Amino acid sequence: MKTRVALLRGASLNDAELVSYLPLVDDFDFSFYHNAWRPLPLRVSKVKDCSLWYSDDLMRLLLPERLRTRVQLELFGTMDVPLRLQSVCAGHQIVHTAETFTGYTQRAVQLKQEYGHKVVTTVWENIPFQYENISHRQRGWKLGTKKRVACAGIDHFLVPAESARIALELEGVPPERISYIGNAVDLQQFQPRPKSYRLHQQLGIPQHAMIILFVGRLVWEKGVFDLLEAFGLLWRTGRMEADTHLVYAGDPREQVNLEKERDRLGLAGRVHFQIGKVYANADTMPTLFNDADIMVLPSVPLPYWMEQFGVVLIEAMASGIPVIGSSSGAIPEVIGEAGLIFPTHDIQALAHCLERLLASRTLRDELSRKGRLRTENVFSPKAVSGRIRAVYEQVLGDTNHD
C-alpha cells in the first residue's frame, strides 16, 4: 500500500511548486490541499487537489486587504488556521506543511499524538527569530510562542535554500532534522527556444530590440525602483544602445509610481508593463522568458523579509536567459556561477552588470549555457523529488522504530 501524504500549502499552492512533487505521485498517494476561497489555478496533471477551509478564507471574504492581516493576527495569533484538519491527519501518514508560523503547521503538530502522523515542514523563512524578535507586541508574542511549539513537534524540516537552514539552526533546530531540497523547475516547459516576438508585438517593441525583463510583484522590496534607476543611469550616460527596452511583468502594485518615475527619467516608450499575477498565468511564462534577453531580480531586504529563493531565476536560467541578481537572501546561492551578482541596493553596480551583458553576446551565451546546466544538475524535478523522497523514507523509518 502506498504511503499517504497530505501536502498543505494554503492560498499559496501553485503549479511551480508542484513540479517538485510530480515525480513522486506514482509512488506515494498524494493529496494537495489549498484554500477553498479563490485558490490559485492549478493546471498540472496527475494532481489530486482538495479544498480546505481556513480562517483566512473568512478574513478574505469579510475584510478589505489593508485590515485582513492585522485582524487575523490579533484574533488567532497566527495565519492560515484550518477549520477542520482532523480528517486530513487521520487519513494520511505524512502531513507535509509549510513554514513554522502557519496555522496549519501548528495544528498538524497538535494533532500528532492523537492520529500518529508525521509532520514534515518546508521552511522558506530565512530571517531567524522572525516573530520572537517582535515579542513586545501582542501579535508577535502569540506568533513567536506558537512557532516554538511547532518547531519542537515537527519531525523533519526541508529547506529550499541554505539561508533557511542557517535561520533554523540559529533558532535551535538540530542540524540532523534539516535537509536541503532546493526547488524544481519544469525543464520541458522552460527551455531555450527561438524568440516568438509575441512580447515585442504586444508592447510595440521592435523585433531587433533587446529586452531586459523583471518578473514578480511590483513592490519596493523587489528592487523595481533600483532597476528603473539603473536603466535610466545607462540611458542618460549614453552607455546603452538605443534599441534596449525594460519590461516589468507581474502584479501591478507600484505600477503608477513606477510610471511617474519612468516619465521623470525621460524613459517613456522604453519602459513597459505586462500586468498579471505570475503564478496565476504560469502558461504564459515560457514565452515571456524566451522573448527576453536578460532577466533581473534586484531584491532589497526589509526588516522582516528578504528574498527566500526566487523561482523566476531558475525559470529564466532553464530558458537559457542570462540572469542578474542582487546579493539579498538566497539569490546568490540560487544563481551560483551561472549569473551576475551585485551588492543589494547598489544602483551603479547594477547598471554595470547590465552594461556588461548588453555589450557582450559572448558573456550572454556563456551565462545562458551555465544557467541551463545548473538547473539540470541542481533544480531538476528528478533531483529535487529525490531529496524529498529520502526525507519521507527517513521519517517513515523512524515510525517503524518507534
Residue 44's pLDDT band (boundaries 50, 70, 90)? Answer: confident
For the chain, how are helix, strand and coil distributed in percent, rounded to 5?
45, 20, 35
Q: Stretch 229-238: mean pLDDT, rounded?
A: 94
pLDDT digits (tens, 9 = 90+) for 311-363: 999 999 999 999 999 999 999 999 999 999 999 999 999 999 999 999 999 99
Quote the pLDDT of residue 22.
Answer: 94
Nearest Cα to Cα of residue 371 among 191, 189, 188, 182: 191
pLDDT at residue 67 greater than cutoff 70: no
pLDDT at residue 136 greater than cutoff 60: no
**What pairs with residue 120 in β-bridges?**
96, 156
Greater pLDDT, 10 or 384: 384
pLDDT at residue 400 greater than cutoff 70: no
pLDDT over 70 percentage in the chain:
90
Length of the chain: 402
8 A C-beta contact, residue 199 and residue 211? yes
For Cα atoms 112, 79, 125, give the angle at the middle one, nearest 5 degrees: 85
Give the position of cell 524540516.
157
Quote the pLDDT of residue 78.
Answer: 60
Quote the pLDDT of residue 282.
Answer: 63
Quote the pLDDT of residue 277.
Answer: 63
Indicate the pairing of strand 294-297 with strand 210-215. parallel
8 A C-beta contact, residue 362 and residue 245? no
Quote the pLDDT of residue 279.
Answer: 57
The H or E element spanning position 248 is strand 244-250
Quote the pLDDT of residue 132.
Answer: 75
Q: For residue 263, give the C-alpha cell.
A: 516619465
49 contact partners, CB below 8 Å, separation of at least 6 = 13, 31, 32, 33, 34, 42
8 A C-beta contact, residue 155 and residue 94? no
End-to-end C-alpha distance for the chain, whole angstroms: 20
Average per-residue pLDDT for the chain: 90
pLDDT digits (tens, 9 = 90+) for 266-319: 999 999 999 876 654 567 899 999 999 999 999 999 988 999 999 999 999 999
Residue 66's pLDDT band (boundaries 50, 70, 90)? Answer: low
For residues 286-316, b (16+ Cβ closer than 10 Å) or e, as one string? bbbbbbbbbbbbbbbbeeebbbbbbbbbbbb
pLDDT digits (tens, 9 = 90+) for 145-202: 788 889 999 999 999 999 999 999 999 999 999 999 999 999 999 999 999 999 999 9
Domains in the chain, CATH or no CATH each: 3-184+380-401 (3.40.50.2000), 198-378 (3.40.50.2000)
